[in-house]
Chains A and B, each alone.
Chain A
Amino acid sequence: MTYTVLARCPKTGQVGIGIATYSICVGLYCNGLQANVGAAMTQAFVNQGNNTLALGLLAKGFSPTRVLDELKANDADAEYRQIAVIDRDGEAVGYSGPKTRGWSGHVVGDGYVSMGNVLAGRHVVDAMAKAYEAASSESFERRLLRAIEAGRDAGGQVGNEGHLTERSAAVRVYGAHDHAELDLRVDLHDKAVDELRRAFEEYELYRGYYRDRGKDPRNAISQAEFVARLAERKAAQ
């Protein structure tokens, strides 16, 4: 019961993930992104060793297809996993193990994988893929957000008792650095995708300020001053 888009931005080379699920604190499991290496995600029944292993194999030079084969060969319960792997060139592979539950599947596109399990149906992953592609003029992080919003709007997750709400969500993007360029999470909420959008739009206002004050502390205004200016700008609009 999760839906995800894992992608590499063809314009910037950034790698990122957008994810939403009924489980709480899902951002904890999204540790498969590395600058100049690629992206990997395992979900459904998670093997928490997979993402670091996959990044290590990609860094050594293995192709995504070969990395996926290795993850399967290394795991007695591989049939319970749902996996996506993308390398730094955007070559992408996906796998939805036959023992993952509910409607489970993936779409592999140019530089991205849209995947999910315990979903309302195939149209959820299709909607995510379509939204990700349609938003190609927007920033990479906004494309990831659009994708999971489209997954939500297409019906999202459906369990035995009907629709399951998104209780956690995350969007993470890595660029040229060892640290994330964007790492936003909603860990426990009754509408986590909506809340992630709210958090993102709020954070966007601060992002440049947070980046620059560390680079040029001498000329940085205080955050109190920054917040006051934001409020003025909002009032003026």
Chain B
Amino acid sequence: MTYSIIGRCARTGRIGLGITTFSLAVGGRCEGVAANVGICKTQAFPNRTNDPLGIRLLAEGYLPERVMAMFAANDREHEYRQVAIMDREGRIAAHTGSGTRGWSGHKIGADCVAFGNGLVGAQVLDGLIAGFTAKADDVLEFRLMRALESGRDAGGQGDAQSHRPERSAAIKVVDRLDYPDIDVRVDVHPTAVEELRRVLEEFKLYEEFYRERGRHPGRAIPQDVFVARLQAKRATLSSRA
């Protein structure tokens, strides 16, 4: 019971993963996001070795489709896995094993692949893709965020009898550098998608400050001063509203 989206920004070449699930701390199990290489995510009954292996194979030059074929050959329980792979050029391979539980499937859209299991139905994948493609000019992290929200609004995880809450969520985006560009997490929360939106919006306010103080420490203002300015700006905005 998880729904995820891997997407690529055609304008910048940045790639990213958005994921949410009933399981706790899902962001701590998303190693397969590598700058200049691609993204590989195994879920449902995941074997933790797939994603690092997939990244290595992509880096060697293999196509996502070929990587998937090697996963099938390398893993006796491949039919219990759900896997999506996208390389840095946006090529995609996806697999939903017959042993995954509940409503389970994947769907490829423009610059993205949506995949999930334990869902209320195919409308969740359609929701993910609709959310991702709604504002194609927006920065990738917000497109991924909108995808998760739209997947949630389409019903998310569960079945006809019961809905399963999102208890963890994460968004990771890499650019050209070998550390994450965006990496926000919610690990244990009753409404993790809402909370992830809050964390992402807040992080975006700090993103440039954090990056610049590391690159030009001699010019950096202290963070408490930065936060005070942020609060003043917020107060001005809310008094106008």
List the interface of chain A (C-beta within 8 A of B): 1, 22-25, 27-29, 31, 45-49, 51-52, 77, 80, 99, 101, 159-161, 164, 172, 177-180, 182-188, 198-199, 202-203, 206, 210, 213-215, 217-218, 220, 222-224
Instruction: Name the one of B27, B47, B180, B188 contacting A214, with C-beta atoms under 8 angstroms.
Output: B47
**Does B109 count as interface, using CB distance less than 8 angstroms?**
no
Contact (Cβ within 8 A) B52 A187 = no
Q: If A25-B203, A45-B214, A160-B222 touch, does A185 touch B99 (CB 8 Å cutoff)?
A: no
* A residues less than 8 Å from B27 (CB atoms): 183, 185
144-165 of chain B: CB within 8 A of chain A: 164
Interface membership of chain B positions 65-99, coded 1 if the CB is closer than 8 angstroms to chain A and 0 otherwise:
00000000000010010000000000000000001
Query: Are A24 and B202 touching (Cβ within 8 A)?
Result: yes
Seen from chain B, the residues whose Cβ lies within 8 Å of a Cβ on chain A are: 1, 22-25, 27-29, 31, 44-49, 51-52, 77, 80, 99, 101, 164, 177-180, 183-188, 198-199, 202-203, 206, 210-211, 213-214, 216-218, 220, 222-225
Q: With A52-B179, A99-B217, A101-B222 given, is the CB distance from A178 to B52 under 8 Å?
A: yes
Q: Are B198 and A188 in contact (CB under 8 A)?
A: yes
Is B31 a contact of A179 with CB atoms below 8 Å? yes
Residues of B within 8 A of A206 (CB): 23-24
A223 to chain B, nearest CB (A): 6
Task: Find out whether the CB atom of A222 lies under 8 angstroms from the CB atom of B185.
Answer: no
- Chain A: which residue is nearest B164 at the CB level? A224
- Given the known interface contacts A25-B184, A185-B187, A202-B24, the answer about A214 and B177 at a Cβ–Cβ threshold of 8 Å is no
Does B28 lie within 8 Å of A187, measured CB to CB? no
Q: Which residues of B contact A199 (CB under 8 A)?
A: 24-25, 187-188
A161-B224 contact in complex given A23-B210, A187-B184, C-beta closer than 8 Å: yes
What is the CA–CA distance of A163 and B227 in the complex, to the nearest angstrom?
14
Q: State how many angstroms separate the Cβ of A6 from the closest Cβ of chain B.
A: 17
Closest to B179 in A: A48
Question: Is the Cβ of A223 less than 8 Å from the Cβ of B183?
Answer: no
* Least Cβ–Cβ distance between B77 and chain A, in angstroms: 5
Q: Are B23 and A25 in contact (CB under 8 A)?
A: no
- Identify B177's interface contact among A1, A49, A164, A223, CB under 8 A: A49
Given contacts A1-B223, A182-B28, contact A188 B199 (CB under 8 A): yes
A188 and B210 within 8 A (CB): no
Q: Which of A25, A187, A202, A218 has the most CB of B within 10 A?
A: A187
Residues B206 and A179 in contact, CB atoms below 8 Å apart: no
Q: How far is the CA of A99 from the CA of B222 in the complex (A)?
A: 13
In the complex, what residue of chain A is closest to B214 when comparing beta carbons?
A: A46
**A27 vs B170: C-alpha distance in the bound complex, in angstroms?**
12
From residue A208, how far is it (CB to closest CB) to chain B in Å? 13
- List 28 interface pairs A-B (beta carbons < 8 Å), by A numbering: A1-B223, A24-B199, A25-B183, A25-B185, A25-B199, A25-B206, A27-B185, A28-B184, A31-B179, A46-B214, A48-B177, A52-B178, A77-B217, A101-B222, A161-B224, A182-B28, A184-B187, A185-B27, A185-B185, A187-B203, A188-B202, A199-B187, A203-B187, A210-B23, A217-B44, A217-B99, A218-B77, A218-B80
B49 and A177 within 8 A (CB): yes
A31 cross-chain contacts in B, Cβ below 8 A: 179-180
Complex formed: what's the CA distance from A217 to B54 in Å?
20
Nearest CB of B to A95, in Å: 15
CA distance A101 to B223 in the complex (A): 11
Task: Assess whether B188 is in contact with A177, with CB atoms less than 8 Å apart.
Answer: no
B26 CB to closest chain A CB, in angstroms?
Answer: 10
Q: Give the distance in Å from the alpha carbon of A183 to the alpha carbon of B99 in the complex.
A: 27
Most B CB contacts (10 A, CB to CB) among A49, A52, A188, A203 go to A188
Minimum distance in angstroms from A101 CB to a CB of chain B: 7
Per the bound structure, the CA–CA distance linking A185 and B225 in Å amounts to 25
Q: Which residues from chain B contact A159 at a C-beta distance below 8 Å?
A: 222-224
Collect the chain A residues with CB atoms within 8 Å of residue B206's CB.
23-25
- Bound-state CA distance A29–B24 (Å) is 21
Residue pair A80, B218 in contact (C-beta under 8 Å): yes
